[in-house]
Structure 1
Amino acid sequence: MVSAEIGVEPGGDAEALGRLIRAGRSAEVVELADSFLSTAPDAAEYAQILLMKLGALINVGRVSECPEVADQAHAALGRCDEPALLGEFHALAANVADQQGSLDGCVAHLVRGSRALELVRVHDHPAAMAWLDLAVTYSGVGFHGHAVNALHRAQAIARSAGLDPADFTHPEIRIRVAVALDHKGDTAACVSILSDVLNCVGPADVAQFELPYLGYAMARLAALGTPSSCDPLPLLWADVSPFGEAVELRTLGEACLAIADGQHTTALARLEEAAGYTRAMGAAEVPRLRAIALAAAGDHPAAHLAERAVMKVIARDADRLHGLFVEGVSARLDHDELRRIVTRYADEAHTDPLTGLPNRRHLERYVDELAERGTYGAIGVADLDGFKTVNTVHGHLAGDQVLQRVAAILSRTLRTGDFLARYGGDEFVIVLPMTDLDEATRLGDRLIAAICADDWSTLVPGTPVTLTVGWAELNGRTGLVAAFRAADMVMLRAKVAQS
């Protein structure tokens, strides 16, 4: 559960929303936030209220509504110099991207959040809470080392600022570390960490919504043959509504207790109910508990198959990270190529700030120069298909990332001497000097294939990114305006034909 407690002045509207979130009343925050926006005294509090609404939407599971609020919050943060709030924004946006299945977008926000928080010089509540929410998201995604480091940063700032340590204990992060180690075969380390957590932290030392995690640590130890002296059931059933992960922890915890009691059939039945539970402890936890239950029941062949399922989940996650690493290297090379291109356009008035490509003004100047030299060629208008859906589903920040990646793909696919500009929105213009329409069409097919071949599922899952291109002749007789209109009409007719 994210906190989104942004550290505001007592008595303000944002502070009232913060109290509701701490009381587990996130649904009310969603309903009240918009009315509070109209009375926000400055851009900082306006952004704080939007961030609280964003955190509340995450808490109540209304993720489809988050991108629009995230766009509004990002725009508001652009009007104030608040690195702690910016770090908090990226922590929440990373959580949303993760729930939408965008590992690429999630990691990008996590890195940006860390960089923003490194700029914070004041040890106060906003900085501590931002580091904490960053830690929670790192943990949920499975970057446990980064999660622990971010948690330590939050706790150090909290101690320095004299804040309540219970708000920053967050045992869930170390509990996830322990469970992840068990998934990888290091059960002894898992038992050691879980035991240490329970020795250091009790129910009175944590926020209310962390109680089910403590209960789960006790139950998990019991399933591994190390029962606790305390009864975990009251903690597993603590009222932390609308904290959705509590339901997962309760079901998995009851399966663990059934394993410990030798009720293997009951445990396996509870695990069948938990088949889709992945948020609290990861996708490998259900097959791992199934393996423990089957081994305890003496069905070792079935337990072996369940362990194979655990390894399959771990290997899949590793493959995703390897793919992200390769894409990161590719993106870096594309960025280097774009930088080389941008050096040719030193005048910022002629450069698109988002992609670094020449803009419309530069395009006009370039075509005028071709006309003066009497050079013929082809002009192409390239437009992304369904780009509005990307912005609607994933938000404008993800849309900007798509445009940057498209610019990089087009740049590396074009030939030396070809000219690429961003005309506006999701529209790009390509000028191919000394090229006839047949050759331009073949090159256009390569551009379309390059965009289609990219793995967009890691950045904007569920919203495929494709390209349509129209071509027209460009010469001294037609001029830029007429050639552009002709190419645009060809592109629009192609879109109609595809639909």
Structure 2
Amino acid sequence: MGGLDRTRFVGDCEHLEQLMRAGRIDQVGPGSVRLIQRAADPLESTQAHLYLLTGLFYDRLPLDQFTLAANRAHQALQRNPVPTFLAEFHAISSCVTALNGEVASAVEHIVHGVRAAEAETMPSVSTALAWADLGYAASIIGLVDKAAEFNHRSREEGARWGFGMVGTVPRLMAALVYDHRGDTPACIRELESLCALARSRTGDLFANLYYADRLCLAYAAVRLAALGGDPGIDAHHFWPAGPHRPHVADFELLFLACSAVAEGKGAEAITLLDAMMHAGPGNPVETLRLRSLALSSLGDHAAALAVEREAWRLAADMTRQCQNIVVQGVAANLDRAEMAEALAGYANAALTDPLTGLPNRRHLEERLAEMTTQCGNAVIGVLDLDRFKDINTVHGHLVGDQVLMRVAAALTTCFGPQDFLARYGGDEFVAILPTTSIDAAYGLGDRILATLRDVNWSDIAPGSQVGVSIGWAEFDGRCATTVLGAADKAMYRAKSSAGRN
């Protein structure tokens, strides 16, 4: 990006950004598609892919449509791996997965996005936007400290290029998270800070506000009023005129419900909340919180408490998922440490599968040749994943790669230090068990099946269950390749049976 004007977005993507600024989301998607088709500059085309993803996200299209566009964007990024663009890709993907309840996947995208943004040696105005969107993604899943950190990075980067990043979205989301967790004083402080920012936005500063910033400042004002505070601004002055896209129309119902609560019109607020078609900013927790405030204003404190408890339960569930991710992260670190020790003899990259870190087919063939000459006893196993093609079809190859990596890590925990496990190709693995009987191999196969059944696949491939079919054959001094073929045939017999081992 060194030859480009780093104060602008690439080529006609500047126009797409202006559409975003004005809130004309319905034009971003079609404009992105046209730009992808005609752009001669590969960087311009790649950034247009990212704007297309943003438009799809805001339009709340089905996940499968987003996944298809994300796969195409990823292909463009493989051809043009600009760190800033990679950071933006992961920020958008994190937002989508978070709002679909896939917290672990959302966190993973944030980590990848931060690494990409920090690796950018030629930062630009697009880098500031990537940091802002990473902040938004972090705020969705309640990582308010990280959201504040990324928001600060966004403002710093934007200031370098004369691009004023206000960062109201993650700040508003953080305020709501505080309230959802029971820390209403912290929520009020953040809302008051946003209202002070709104009061400072007059003249050109108001005219240059992003559409999303106007929405958030307006909502911060009515939300503060609903909690009994004085925003000191006319929230309706900041709220953009309609008609609005679906996600903003739902947000507007929350805005009006807050206004009604602040004005003591609890029944009207409940009617508006009943009209909600989608979750608001904070997902269903915010809708429940407003319903509780409305019921309290009507004097129905028992009902308000019941709704509040449901809101707390949902907010706690997000925290629980984040805690599970920490535990899984520690376990993954241990798995990686054990795998690194097991793979210490595979230092030569030519003998290692780059995706899973296991020995590759070439390494396996060398080991089979050694077995034939050494004439030792062993059992050879062929492991083939079940329904893996369906995962690639439904969720895309990016998810398929994540599944393969997780399978490899899980399989490694089942084998001993003397065993040899290789990725043979695609979704097929081969194991060599020295000094092991065929009966012991079948017992190991049962443990492998149980291990994969216990893996939580929903965070990376919702609705999918990964299984494996295993075939075993004894090596007793014959040609090892022949024994491998026998194990392969046994695997296909297992695949057609219920046991799959």
Q: 1:32 to 1:169 in 2, by over 3 A?
A: closer
Query: How many angstroms does 1:26 deviate by?
Result: 4.2
Q: 1:184 to 1:39 in 2, by over 3 A?
A: closer
Do structure 1's residue 215 and structure 2's residue 212 form an aligned pair?
no
Do structure 1's residue 78 and structure 2's residue 84 form an aligned pair?
no
Residue equivalent to 1:280: 281
Match of 1:252 among 254, 275, 279: 254
Match of 2:228 among 208, 225, 228: 225
Match of 1:263 among 265, 274, 278: 265
| Contact 2:169/2:212, CA 8 A, preserved across alignment | no
Residue equivalent to 1:12: 11
Q: Distance in 2 between matches of 1:210 and 1:300?
A: 34
Aligned 1:149-228 pairs, distance under 5 A: 149-163=149-163, 165=164, 168-201=165-198, 202=201, 204=207, 206-228=209-231
Residue equivalent to 2:129: 129
Q: Distance in 1 between matches of 2:187 and 2:118?
A: 31
Write the letter of the residue equivalent to 2:135: A
| Contact 2:473/2:483, CA 8 A, preserved across alignment | yes
Query: What's the secondary structure of 1:344's corresponding residue?
Result: helix
Residue equivalent to 2:89: 89
Query: What's the secondary structure of 1:456's corresponding residue?
Result: coil
| Contact 2:273/2:287, CA 8 A, preserved across alignment | yes
Residue equivalent to 1:55: 54
**TM-score, scaled relative to structure 1:** 0.89
Deviations 1:190-218 (Å, cap 9, x if unpaired)? 22221221121245452123323222222
| Contact 1:208/1:240, CA 8 A, preserved across alignment | no
| Contact 2:280/2:286, CA 8 A, preserved across alignment | no
Deviations 1:325-372 (Å, cap 9, x if unpaired)? 111111111111111122111221111011110011111111221222
| Contact 2:289/2:311, CA 8 A, preserved across alignment | yes
| Contact 2:7/2:162, CA 8 A, preserved across alignment | no
Query: What's the secondary structure of 2:225's corresponding residue?
Result: helix
| Contact 2:251/2:280, CA 8 A, preserved across alignment | no
Deviations 1:196-243 (Å, cap 9, x if unpaired)? 21121245452123323222222212221225454434655633743x
Deviations 1:71-99 (Å, cap 9, x if unpaired)? 33333333345221221122122223323
| Contact 2:211/2:240, CA 8 A, preserved across alignment | no
Residue equivalent to 1:404: 405
Write the letter of the residue equivalent to 1:413: C
| Contact 2:6/2:123, CA 8 A, preserved across alignment | no
- Ranges in structure 2 where 5+ consecutive residues have no aligned partner: none
Q: 1:44 to 1:475 in 2, by over 3 A?
A: farther
Query: How many angstroms does 1:279 deviate by?
Result: 4.7
Query: What's the secondary structure of 1:352's corresponding residue?
Result: coil
Q: Distance in 2 between matches of 1:205 and 1:139?
A: 24
| Contact 2:9/2:125, CA 8 A, preserved across alignment | no
Q: 1:215 to 1:24 in 2, by over 3 A?
A: closer
Residue equivalent to 1:3: none
Write the letter of the residue equivalent to 1:177: A
Query: What's the secondary structure of 2:346's corresponding residue?
Result: coil
Query: What's the secondary structure of 2:354's corresponding residue?
Result: coil
Q: 1:258 to 1:109 in 2, by over 3 A?
A: same
Write the letter of the residue equivalent to 1:133: D
Q: 1:236 to 1:473 in 2, by over 3 A?
A: farther
Q: Distance in 1 between matches of 2:85 and 2:371?
A: 48
Write the letter of the residue equivalent to 1:390: I
| Contact 1:17/1:33, CA 8 A, preserved across alignment | yes
Write the letter of the residue equivalent to 1:186: D
| Contact 2:223/2:258, CA 8 A, preserved across alignment | yes
Q: Distance in 2 between matches of 1:411 and 1:194?
A: 50
Q: Percent identity?
A: 38
Q: Distance in 2 between matches of 1:194 and 1:229?
A: 12
| Contact 2:94/2:107, CA 8 A, preserved across alignment | yes
Q: Distance in 1 between matches of 2:265 and 2:445?
A: 64
Q: Distance in 2 between matches of 1:300 and 1:474?
A: 74
Q: Distance in 2 between matches of 1:121 and 1:325?
A: 30
- Relative to structure 2, which stretch is displaced further, 317-326 or 426-435? 426-435
How many equivalent pairs are there?
A: 488
Q: 1:21 to 1:470 in 2, by over 3 A?
A: farther
Aligned 1:221-370 pairs, distance under 5 A: 221-228=224-231, 230-233=233-236, 235-236=238-239, 238-239=241-242, 241-242=244-245, 244-274=246-276, 277-370=278-371
Write the letter of the residue equivalent to 1:259: V
| Contact 2:471/2:491, CA 8 A, preserved across alignment | yes
Q: Distance in 1 between matches of 2:282 and 2:104?
A: 21
Query: What's the secondary structure of 1:384's corresponding residue?
Result: strand
Q: Distance in 2 between matches of 1:210 and 1:182?
A: 20
Q: Distance in 2 between matches of 1:268 and 1:303?
A: 12
- Relative to structure 2, which stretch is displaced further, 412-421 or 212-221? 212-221
Write the letter of the residue equivalent to 1:179: L
Q: Distance in 2 between matches of 1:34 and 1:218?
A: 37
Q: Distance in 2 between matches of 1:391 and 1:15?
A: 34
- Relative to structure 2, which stretch is displaced further, 206-215 or 226-235? 226-235
Query: How many angstroms does 1:322 deviate by?
Result: 1.3
Q: Distance in 1 between matches of 2:133 and 2:411?
A: 37
Q: 1:358 to 1:217 in 2, by over 3 A?
A: same
- Relative to structure 2, which stretch is displaced further, 338-347 or 222-231? 222-231
| Contact 2:104/2:321, CA 8 A, preserved across alignment | no
Q: Distance in 2 between matches of 1:404 and 1:478?
A: 31
Q: Distance in 1 between matches of 2:19 and 2:483?
A: 59
| Contact 2:280/2:287, CA 8 A, preserved across alignment | no
Aligned 1:370-409 pairs, distance under 5 A: 370-409=371-410
| Contact 2:21/2:212, CA 8 A, preserved across alignment | no
Q: Distance in 2 between matches of 1:429 and 1:319?
A: 37
Write the letter of the residue equivalent to 1:77: L
Query: How many angstroms does 1:12 deviate by?
Result: 3.4
Q: Distance in 2 between matches of 1:420 and 1:11?
A: 46
Q: Distance in 2 between matches of 1:306 and 1:10?
A: 45
Write the letter of the residue equivalent to 2:176: V
| Contact 2:88/2:130, CA 8 A, preserved across alignment | yes
Alignment RMSD (CA, Å): 2.6
Write the letter of the residue equivalent to 2:213: E
| Contact 1:209/1:240, CA 8 A, preserved across alignment | no
